[in-house]
Amino acid sequence: MAKVLVVDDAAFMRMAIKNMLENHGFEIVGEAENGAVAVQKYAECRPDLVTMDITMPEMNGLDALKAIMKINPEAVVVMVSAMGQEAMVREAIMSGAKSFIIKPFKEDHVIETLKKVLP
């Protein structure tokens, strides 16, 4: 069972992702509402997978991604983006994000993406 850290500033989004993943046997080991908390939680619970929102207060998803890749270059981070954020997704992939999902997302899309990127 893959352990997942869900990062999003909107509690609603975290709940949506959490519900979807739990339906498919993923284990949510943590949630974070901004990038800074995400980095801290990543170091604490070392999840197999991180879903990372891009637009967040305090520290955005890109900076958090980079910090996490520094902690663990093998980290599996999937960006949660929206249409219009193409440039930022590209930057994220350059920085080590394994893939991305696009809001509003469908359950099967999310699951397919996550299953593909897990080692």
Partner 1 sequence: MSGQNNEQMLEMYIFETEQNIEQLETLVLSSEKELGFAEDALHELFRLMHTIKGSSGMMSYQSLASVAHHLEDLFYYLREQQPQNVDYTILSDLVLEGIDLMKVELQKIKNGEEADSDTAPLIKSIEDYLQLLKQQNGAESETAVALAQPDSAGGFCARADAVTYKAVVHFAADCAMENVRAYALVHSLQAEANVLQLFPADLDDDDSAEIIRTKGLTVYLQSELEAEQIEEIFWQTPFLNKLELTVVDSLQSEEAAWDAAQLPKQQQNNHTAASNSVISVSVNKLDKLMDLVGEMVIAESMVIQNPDLNGLELENFEKAARQLHKITSELQDLVMSIRMVPLATTFHKMHRLVRDMSRQLQKDVQLQLIGEHTEVDKNIIEHIADPIMHLIRNAIDHGLETAEEREALGKPAAGTITLEAKNTGSDVLILIKDDGRGLNKDKILERAREHGLLTKMTAEMTEKEIFELIFLPGFSTKDNVTEFSGRGVGMDVVAKNLEMVGGAVSVSSVAGQGTVFTLKIPLTLAIMDSMNVKVGASCYTIPIISIKECLRLQQHTLLNDTEGYEMLMVRGECYPIFRLHQYFNVKNAVTDLEKGVLVMVEHDKKSFLLFVDELLGQQEVVVKALPAYIKERYQSKGISGCTLLGDGSISLILDVGGFVQ
- Which residues of the shown chain bind partner 1 in the complex (CB under 8 A)? 9-13, 15-16, 19-20, 23, 33-37, 40, 55-59, 63, 66-67, 69-70, 81-84, 86-91, 93-96, 99-100, 102-105, 107, 109, 112-113, 116-117
Q: CB 3 → partner 1: shortest distance, Å?
A: 20
- Per the CB < 8 A criterion, the answer to whether 118 and 76 are in contact is yes
Phi and psi for 89 in degrees, rounded to 5?
A: -65, -40
What sign has the CA pseudo-torsion 114, 77, 62, 55? Answer: positive
- Per the CB < 8 A criterion, the answer to whether 71 and 45 are in contact is no
Tokens of 58: 């305090």
Q: CB 34 → partner 1: shortest distance, Å?
A: 5
Phi and psi for 66 in degrees, rounded to 5?
A: -60, -40
Q: CB 9 → partner 1: shortest distance, Å?
A: 6
**Which CB sits closer to partner 1, 49 or 88?**
88
Q: CB 66 → partner 1: shortest distance, Å?
A: 4
**Which CB sits closer to partner 1, 3 or 40?**
40
